[in-house]
Structure 1
């Protein structure tokens, strides 16, 4: 339960006195509110914290987006900070300095006991702001493996400095935690693993989408980016066609590789439908015979989680946190291997009873382990532990 008014943390100057065991106010910070997995998780966490009586503000650096609708009417306050990402250098720099000052002033005025930042730009910005505003506890989230940062030495140096100012790093999978410890040198004692969560609606049976095809339907939900491995999935579908196991492939998501992938699909002569970003993913999952995620690297995949919740059989590459999600109720294959993907999909299409049983097992496991309530319980427990540690210090 939240603290009573006379038990709330108070300030002397810009310093907080001893907070209670449960935070009264939390600020969550992210770059934007698009349809990505991290954006879904921050919206879910904000709503659930607020429903538990913990006042929650959602700080948006650059712009809002479709996920705003998921917190509208919940009591969560959305704050536009006004950072600029694509303006000319000088004008953008001036705007960003003003936005940073706006962030510090907001934190000083509202006095949250916890500031939690999601994704790279947010926790790099949140770290110095939290120190200047004397926020008691700063939490940084890691949502994916850090492979993309290995050749960016300046970014790594900035990240390590920010991590030094951070009280806890939350990884959404053990594989991500291991990557943070191994590549960033963060001690294990500073890392906590909290898997992503799903709202009750993700476990409800959605009406199946109408897709004009007589072939088995394979669905992939992922941004059209190179690291998602779509080109190997298209090659796998071509292999299936050569074996007489033709299928219709539905790709949900947008991204920079869309044009190249459409040209590849046309060249291979496969039935690939590019549907773009959608908010009715559950209807296509309900229609799918098999769900595939061919990523080359991954954190804790929301797409895999949603497929499990929908009770669909999954074929996915054995990267990042995906093996932690499938846990024996899915088919894991090597990354960047079209033949392995084709074999996995073919095995499920030819063994329907086995595929259905995998779907039932996955759904039961997801319901028991991946609810938004379980995720929020873990976050609140972490917040309390960090506040107690801060008080003791």
Structure 2
């Protein structure tokens, strides 16, 4: 499935691939699940190592669906988001687990998973392992300001960890450039493997009769902009005298704060909150999708909304301009509730234009953002990390 010339499996040789990341939510989790499915279909033996303290009922259902495909198993260990004394305990548990899995490839995702997995890979080499160590930031530490104290610390750590890295995978050209600008020019080979969606996700979603006007779907944290979404709703109400109906779907540490903000803005009667659910189910429940993020890398929710033929308002951050291409001029400056409200109101007031823009955008991304292309590019990175196209492993579990 990854395509001739970049074969993941050669005959009976079945590479053992372990994906290591912290939080099994959002885009990283979707990216890993897609890779697992493609790699298993190509004959690889795959396992997942991730945090046990994040995720809710929606994520548990996703784990149950994917676990039968994991020949190397699903292994969950508590991992704190911030640096803490508990990191040492987590590291020791992860080291023992990773050593037992005997990986050929350690594919790490996100800042914390990237640090754990690459250092463990280096230690495993002292025991005779030749596991390739790959790192995909998925935004992560690259979201920090280069002038901030935290940013300076994290970028120094990223540079130091590069010595334990065999290849990088960036999910957007933006991410690759952010790494160069904030950390430095990569000293290891890299590929850009843009996130992609499946053919079935290009089928338009029908709008329910009682659909809301606007949908926010994503993590409930300020980086993703739920507060800006609410402020924009209040601005539209103040300008028109009518509060739009809105649906907010997702989980996260700041959900209660956004619910309080909704009440304070007088939007409680017209704004509903719902726990995380499949994106396409949520798309049917509203006419226009809004992605008000302050920072992104290559957001799946934008690709999924476009594939579903939903009119979309999004901010001009990260890899989103790469997705919008010729329509990038209508992206909204990040952090501006006023600009967000203006674009939301434009689409709400002119549904014919909104639908035409959505249809054109859907056709434009179809050849550029597929799961198959993403998997091919990741396989290329594996070959670069090992210095050859085929990654052999004669043993089976």
Q: CA RMSD in A?
A: 2.7
SS of the equivalent of 1:368 reads coil
> Aligned equivalents of 1:97 and 1:56: distance in 2?
21
Larger RCO, structure (CA 8 Å, separation 6 or more): 2
Work out whether 1:45 is the aligned partner of 2:35. yes
SS of the equivalent of 1:327 reads helix
1:237-252 alignment, distance < 5 Å:
237-244=233-240, 246-252=243-249
Q: For residue 171 of structure 1, report the CA deviation from its aligned partner.
A: 1.5
- List runs of 5+ in structure 2 lacking aligned partners: 1-6, 391-397
1:196-207 alignment, distance < 5 Å:
196-206=195-205
- 2:10 corresponding residue in structure 1: 3
- 1:16 corresponding residue in structure 2: none
Structure 1, 238-247 or 43-52: larger mean CA deviation: 238-247
- 1:103 corresponding residue in structure 2: 97
Which deviations, in whole Å up to 9, do the C-alpha atoms of 1:304-357 show, x marking residues without a partner? 111111011111111111111122346301111111111101111222222111
> Aligned equivalents of 2:276 and 2:91: distance in 1?
33
Which deviations, in whole Å up to 9, do the C-alpha atoms of 1:151-182 show, x marking residues without a partner? 32544433322122212221111111111111
Q: For residue 195 of structure 1, report the CA deviation from its aligned partner.
A: 0.8
1:213-252 alignment, distance < 5 Å:
217-244=213-240, 246-252=243-249
1:1-393 alignment, distance < 5 Å:
1=7, 2-5=9-12, 8=13, 24-33=15-24, 35-62=25-52, 65-66=59-60, 67-80=62-75, 82-83=77-78, 85=80, 92=86, 95-107=89-101, 110-112=102-104, 114-134=105-125, 135-144=130-139, 146-148=142-144, 150-152=148-150, 153-187=152-186, 190-206=189-205, 208=207, 211=210, 217-244=213-240, 246-270=243-267, 271-278=270-277, 280-329=278-327, 331-388=330-387
- 2:4 corresponding residue in structure 1: none
SS of the equivalent of 1:300 reads coil
Distance 1:287 1:82, change over 3 A: closer
The TM-score with structure 1 as length reference comes to: 0.83
SS of the equivalent of 1:359 reads helix
**Do the aligned partners of 1:208 and 1:284 also contact (CA within 8 Å) in 2?**
no
Distance 1:58 1:200, change over 3 A: farther
Alignment length, in residue pairs?
Answer: 364
> Aligned equivalents of 1:68 and 1:207: distance in 2?
28
Distance 1:207 1:121, change over 3 A: same
> Aligned equivalents of 1:352 and 1:104: distance in 2?
52
The TM-score with structure 2 as length reference comes to: 0.83
Which deviations, in whole Å up to 9, do the C-alpha atoms of 1:100-126 show, x marking residues without a partner? 43134225xx341x2110111111011
> Aligned equivalents of 1:274 and 1:101: distance in 2?
40
Q: For residue 294 of structure 1, report the CA deviation from its aligned partner.
A: 0.8
Q: For residue 48 of structure 1, report the CA deviation from its aligned partner.
A: 0.6
SS of the equivalent of 2:326 reads coil
- 1:18 corresponding residue in structure 2: none
- List runs of 5+ in structure 1 lacking aligned partners: 9-22
**Do the aligned partners of 1:296 and 1:317 also contact (CA within 8 Å) in 2?**
yes
> Aligned equivalents of 2:253 and 2:215: distance in 1?
19
Distance 1:105 1:226, change over 3 A: same
- 2:3 corresponding residue in structure 1: none
SS of the equivalent of 1:77 reads coil
Q: For residue 283 of structure 1, report the CA deviation from its aligned partner.
A: 2.1
Q: For residue 68 of structure 1, report the CA deviation from its aligned partner.
A: 1.1
**Do the aligned partners of 1:208 and 1:283 also contact (CA within 8 Å) in 2?**
no
SS of the equivalent of 1:308 reads helix
**Do the aligned partners of 2:110 and 2:139 also contact (CA within 8 Å) in 1?**
no
